[in-house]
Amino acid sequence: PAPIGTFVPSAGALAPTPCPAGTYSSVEAAASCQLAEPGSFVELQGSAEQTTCPIEASLVVKGVFAGVGTRVAGPLPGGRGGS
């Protein structure tokens, strides 16, 4: 079976595929990867878990965000500030 951090994209695939950055797989033999949840990020491909953003990013303070499928926390598009 595909190890954690990977998925098997279709029946008959010869090898598992690493989950892309922004996604993860915490179970063996996954058919797909899960998107990082808001307030979390997955920086590297082949990850088995998501990482919770620092509290200031999770709360969208001072223009920092971490949305669904985020690779890294970063500034809000267009320089918009947080509330």
Q: What is the pLDDT of residues 49-63, one digit of tens each?
A: 998 877 654 444 445
pTM of the model as a whole: 0.68
Task: Report the C-alpha gap between 10 and 64 in whole angstroms.
Answer: 37
pLDDT tens-digit series, residues 19-47 = 999 899 999 999 999 998 887 888 899 99
Nearest to 71, CA basis, from 25, 23, 34, 7: 23
